[in-house]
Structure formats: C-alpha cells, structure tokens
Amino acid sequence: MPNVSVIIPTHNRSSLIAGAIDSVYNQTEQDFEIIVVDDGSTDDTPIIMDKLQKQDKSGRLKYFRLDRPHGANYARNYGIERATGEFIAFLDDDDRWRPNKLESQLAVFESDKSIGLVYTGKEMIYEELGLNYCSTSRKQGDMSRDILIGNFIGSTSSVMIRNYVLDKSGMFDIDLPAKQDYDLWIRICQSYKVGVVPKPLVLYYIRNINRISSDLDKRRRAESIINEKYKELMDSLVLSNQEKSDIELRKLLYELKFLKESGNSVVDVRRRLFGKIISKHLLKVLFILTASYIPLKYWIRYKSFQQKYRKSA
C-alpha cells in the first residue's frame, strides 16, 4: 500500500498533464501512487496517458477515463474511491509542486497524530504578465471557527488529508456550483486539527486571465448555499464589530481581485465601497477603493513587494 495517493483530475489538457505528473515523480517522497482521472477528454489525453503509463515501470501511474465530463470534483471523488494510500493529496493538471511538498506535509502529520489535514502556501504565477507573488498562511490547530470566517486553507492542490478523514467527513459536494473545496474544509475542520507548511510549495498558474465572467455568479450562489448549509455553525459565531467588518471587506477585496483577473467591470465593488466611506474602518475601505483603480499588473507587483518586505522584516 502506498503512503500517498495523488489524485489528478484532468479535462482536455493534453499539453499540461505530463508536467503535472512529472512534478509528482520529482518529489523527494517517493512512496506514492498517481491516480489520473480523465473527465471525458476529447483531445489527445488518452494517447499521452497511454505513453506515460508504458514509460512508468513502477506501475504507480493509474489512469481512469470517464465516458463524459462530470466536473473536476466528481473526478476527484472518483479518484478518492480508488485511492489506497494512507494519505490523499490533490493536484490540478495545470498546477505544479515543488520537490519537497509531499515530504514536508508528511512531517507535519508525523508530528501530531490528531492532525487530519495539512496545507501549504502557494506561488501565484501570472504567465501572460510575467509576474508572480507568494500567498502563505500560518493558521493551524483548531480551525473550526476560523474556517467559517474565510477559506484560509486555499485550493485543493495545496492540501493533503488522511484517507480515513474523508471516510468520516465525506467527499466533495458535486451539487455545489462552486467552492466545493471550501465546503469540504469546513466539514473537516469541525472534527480534526489542521497543520500547515507556511511555504509556497505549490506553483499555481493563472494562464488565462480573461476567464468566464459567470464564475463570480457561481461563487456568490455557492457562498449563499454554504451559509445556509452551515447556518447553525455560522449563527454560533460570536463576532466583534471589527471581525464582521473585516470579513465583509475581505470578501470585497476577493471579488475585486477576481474581477480584475477576469477582465470584468469593478464598478459594483466600487459602489459598495463608496457606501462604506463613513465607516470606522476608513483606511481599509480607502485602500481597497484605491486598489480598484490600479491595473492588474501593478496590483501583482505590489503583492510581490509586500511578500518580500515581510520576509525582510
């Protein structure tokens, strides 16, 4: 039985899938299996995978092809059901891992048997702009409250989970229009401690800045469903006025970033920010409002500078 099962969902990414698999083969931790779930690709993915499987003399690379597209989270669940490892890690086909990613996460699990999930930081890479910045967090331990305030854990490619935790907490909710990962993190955090490797061990590529504009609508609908789904937990939160304001402003900042990356209008975010000018948190409001007028490339440069400043401080 392998130590780690790495699940890679893919759909029509024949030019990228080999790179994702290579970043797993290049790990310092070598006790793994790779489960590629092809979500009904119509390109050369089956041909590429056949070639890669023939090259894999160890037999660690497994390939499953679905008859039609069901969505990435259906594919992840399909992979989870076939995983035999003690730990499960996820990797999107357009992301990459630094070589010590798996080893670093396993070390955190080994340090505390009560930890159910370990996540890492990530490096955001904007290929079209030739820019990047790092995003890391240090939140860990009992995150049952923090995770309800915001998704501090992040994307699936940064996460490793004990296999039995998924048996008890459930898998990805494929009925949600978006934020299926956040929904799963909420469930896990209510029962298990969380560990963190505060280093950017995931390379998160943003290759197509002009993404589908309906994505934001899906995220808003998903947020509404999640709030209702965990209403009892949300209602039990005792938040200060400062925390409530910070949550609202964080959501506006997230929407602003998303809209800028997708090339859509930020007028609605600006309107809501102008409505908060008289609030107690004037400086934060003015900062986000000013950011709405800054071109994306300068925004990313600021984030990169901010990260370097924190390291030198």
List, for residues 24-67, the tens digit of each pLDDT value.
999 999 999 999 999 999 999 999 999 999 999 999 999 999 99
Please check whether residues 163 and 247 belong to one and the same domain. Answer: no
- Do residues 158 and 278 share a domain? no
Q: 161 and 50 in one domain?
A: yes
- 248 and 198, same structural domain? no
Q: What is the pLDDT of residues 215-262, one digit of tens each?
A: 777 888 998 899 899 999 888 887 776 676 666 666 666 666 665 555
CATH number assigned to the domain comprising residue 125? 3.90.550.10
- Residues in the chain, total: 313
What's the pLDDT at 246?
A: 66
Whether residue 123 sits in one domain with residue 14: yes
Structural domain includes residue 168? yes
Whether residue 107 is found in the same domain as residue 200: yes
Biggest CA–CA distance in the chain, Å, is: 65
Tell me, yes or no, whether 224 lies in a domain. Answer: no
Other beta carbons within 10 angstroms of residue 263's beta carbon come to 11
**pLDDT above 50 for 212:** no
Does residue 161 share a domain with residue 102? yes
For residue 128, is pLDDT > 90?
no
Q: Does 222 map to a domain?
A: no
Q: Are residues 201 and 246 in the same domain?
A: no
Task: From 165, 188, 206, give the residue that closes a domain.
Answer: 206
Residue 292: per-residue pLDDT: 55
Number of domains in the chain: 2
Flag whether 107 is in a domain: yes
219: how many CB neighbours lie within 10 A of its CB? 17
Q: Is the pLDDT of residue 211 over 50?
A: no
pLDDT at 213: 42
Going by C-alpha positions, the residue among 287, 264, 265, 289 that lies closest to residue 275 is 289
Range of the domain at 246: 239-312
Residue 21 shares a structural domain with residue 147: yes
Residue 179 counted as domain residue: yes
Least confident of 12-16, 132-136, 151-155: 132-136
Residue among 24, 189, 192 at smallest CA distance from 96: 24
**The residue to which tokens 């029509």 are assigned:** 12
Query: What pLDDT was estimated at residue 245?
Result: 61
Q: Is residue 212 part of a domain?
A: no
Q: Highest mean pLDDT range out of 21-25, 135-139, 265-269?
A: 21-25
Q: What is the pLDDT of residues 171-183, one digit of tens each?
A: 999 999 999 999 9
Q: 215 lies in a domain? A: no
Q: Beta-carbon neighbour count of residue 102 at 10 Å? A: 24
103 and 195 in a single domain? The answer is: yes
> Are residues 290 and 176 part of one domain?
no
Cβ–Cβ under 8 Å, residues 102 and 169: no
Output the average pLDDT for the chain. 85
